[in-house]
Structure 1
Amino acid sequence: MNKTALSPIYNTLDWVLAWAARIGAVAMVALIAITMYDVLTRYFSIPKFAGLNSTMVQESEYWAHGILFALVMGYGLTKQVHVRIDLLRDIMPRKVQYAMEIFGLLIFLIPFAYIGTIYCYTYAVKSFVDGEVSPSTVGLTNIWLLKSTLVMMFGLLLFAGVSQFLKAIDGLLGNLSTENEARVLGGGH
């Protein structure tokens, strides 16, 4: 692997994104457990414990969904799991592909993720200040926690965009390893 001045930055960002995704995997396990618990208690008349009710359990399911997506979205971008339309781009020279990647990241993804982070931060703070709770009288409280996951999602997406941008710069300069080249340009499906 070629070592450049940029590689420690994007390797660190990728490490943070990988750890966030591992935590997101725990949310997936929680989602499975909560869904199984919901099905068992609802269809087999098993009593709920600890003062939980059906609304709380169902709201917990979408909380787990939210946490899962928030924590894995940025990591997914670095692993090229997003949809691409590579038909025209793949016939272009490598340097043009990197230039297109840089353009897309600078014009679309990074500003979008930054704006999303700022707006969601104010959204979560307002929820915290207002003491927002579920619209259901028997639902969950502290909705600001769920809304804070939106801040994490856009923040991690911003990290991923910066990581991909730095890798694309290295690629444009001819300093990117083969492994990272596949993580920037995708392809080879």
Structure 2
Amino acid sequence: MSSKLSIVYRALDKVLGVVATVGSTAMLALVCITVYDVMTRYFGLPKFQGLNSTMLQEAEYWAHTVLFTFVMAYAFTRQSHVRIDLVRDVMPRRIKYALEIFGLLVFLMPFAAIAAYYCYNYAWISWRDDEISRSTIGLTNIWLIKSTIVIMFGLLFVAGASQLLKCIDGLLGNLTDDEEYNVLGGGH
């Protein structure tokens, strides 16, 4: 049974899935950069003109940051986060939904909004000041990587909104068992 809310949260989940797919390509970049760095350091493979070990190491953490920041919200909608549900698991389904709604509205969504606000200022100041690596031979344009943190919290807010709509639909009895699992999670 499809509800009007399901149109919205499926669209939100689709956007999060596309962003996560794009972000997951950073894993390939991370592997390639790391292998290249190891090959140049320990096996004498020459570096490309203008590259140094510091730039490669910073590029590795940039790729890791992009991977994490673009995939985290999607993972949240798929119950890939840590839950400690010893008490909640024995509660009735409606109480589980109520607790989930409470957690989303009181903790996750306000935190994501506040964090995005403060991280925006952090990234904007970095852009304004044309921040570069603390290492004299490191990467420039640090504001790019700091901006991904803003994106991460924005995506987390969207994931929270999607989960909130799913909880409302669950309370109305409109979710399938699989959809309910993606909202409430399962046992231990």
Identity among equivalent pairs (%)? 63
* Other-structure match for 1:110: 109
Structure 2 partner of 1:182:
181
Asked whether the 8 Å contact 2:27–2:64 carries over to 1, the reply is: yes
- Runs of 4+ in structure 1 deviating by more than 4 angstroms, as ranges, are none
Unmatched 5+ residue regions in structure 1? none
Separation in 2 of the partners of 1:187 and 1:80?
Answer: 9
Quick check: 1:86–1:187 contact (8 Å CA) kept in 2?
no
Letter in 1 for 2:27: M
Does the 8 Å contact 1:132/1:141 carry over to 2? yes
Q: RMSD between aligned alpha carbons?
A: 0.9
Task: Name the structure 1 match of 2:17.
Answer: 18
The 2-side partners of 1:144 and 1:58 are apart by: 17
The equivalent residue for 1:144 is 143
- 8 Å Cα contact 1:132-1:144 kept in structure 2: yes
* Separation (CA, whole Å) in 1 of partners of 2:150 and 2:175: 31
CA contact (8 A) 2:89 2:187 kept: no
**1:30-87 CA distances to partner (integer Å, 9 max, x unpaired)?**
0000000010000011110031000000000000010000000000000101111121
Distance 2:187 2:5 in 1: 25
Give the number of aligned pairs: 188
> 1:172 deviation in Å?
1.0
Partner of 2:172: 173
Q: Separation in 1 of the partners of 2:39 and 2:51?
A: 14
Q: Is the 8 A contact 2:79 2:183 kept in 1?
A: yes
Unaligned runs of 5+ in 2: none
TM-score, normalised to structure 2's length?
0.98
Residue 188 (structure 1) shift: 4.5
The answer on whether the counterparts of 1:14 and 1:163 sit within 8 Å (CA) in structure 2 is: yes
Contact 1:27–1:65 (8 Å) recurs in 2: yes
